Amino acid sequence: MNKSMIVISATVLATSMGSQATEYSRTFNIEDMTKDGEKYSVAFTPEFNVAASVIVLDVNVEGNATLSSRQESVCTLWEEDICVGPVKQLWHSEFSHEFKYTVSCDDKVILNKFADQLEFTNEKLTSTKSKIHIQDAFINLNELTCETVSFAIETLQGKDIEQIVGSIKFSDSTSK
């Protein structure tokens, strides 16, 4: 084999290796995202194909939950199925904010999960403010190769999303 063939082979190998990266990390917030109804989404097209088997997602979501607070009559003493004690008025509150989130690689969904903040209590709740921290890792046995990486989050139950701040990382390692 002559020198020029070795140089050409090395150049082709370096070029093909250089077009893929085993690690890609990106941060985003609500201003980077497109809103369609109750769904926010963002897509990234790196300068290189992402080739990795580990996906780490870390997202903070703030918004307003659905809140229902009311007083209910409750028996304080039961004998079998008969109320024999006094009846009291107690608060019953339900606080609910639920999301569906997805991570996609070239329009193929690779992570599809739910996150929520739910509270059921016998106290009167007045605030609808909700904060949810999504911290998720996904390990694929086969390496994924992506030209476009996207993240989407949709409100399933609750009023709205006010803030989204997050990061997504593709790598070949679970270590930081």
Each residue of 16-38: pLDDT tens digit? 344 455 678 899 999 999 999 99
Against a cut of 0.85, is the pTM above it?
Answer: no
pLDDT of residue 174: 62
- Please, what is the average pLDDT of the chain? 84
Residues 6 or more apart whose CB falls under 8 angstroms from that of 125 comprise 67, 69, 93, 95, 119
What CATH number did the domain enclosing 133 receive?
A: 2.60.120
Q: Is 12 helix (H, G, I), strand (E, B) or coil?
A: helix
Rounded to whole angstroms, how far apart are CA atoms 110 and 54?
11
User: 74-130: per-residue pLDDT in tens?
Assistant: 999 999 999 999 999 999 999 999 999 999 988 899 899 999 999 999 899 999 999
Residue range of the domain that includes 153: 21-65+95-171
Q: Is the Cβ–Cβ distance between 102 and 86 less than 8 Å?
A: no
Count how many domains the chain has: 1
The answer as to whether 103 is a domain residue is: yes
88 within domain boundaries: no
Helices (H), 37-93: none
Question: Please, which residues have CB within 8 angstroms of residue 3's CB and are 6 or more apart in sequence?
Answer: none
In the chain, at which residue ranges do the beta strands (DSSP E only) sit? Answer: 20-21, 24-29, 34-36, 39-44, 49-64, 66-75, 78-79, 82-83, 87-105, 108-121, 129-146, 149-157, 160-171
- Tens digit of pLDDT for each residue in 38-55? 999 999 988 767 777 788
- C-alpha distances in angstroms, 76 versus 24, 38, 84, 94, 148? 59, 42, 8, 21, 59
What pLDDT, on the 0 to 100 scale, is given for residue 141? 77
CA distances from 111 to 14, 100, 103, 149, 150 (A): 32, 10, 5, 12, 11
- Residues 6 or more apart whose CB falls under 8 angstroms from that of 80 comprise none
d(CA 141, CA 162): 36
pLDDT at 126: 92
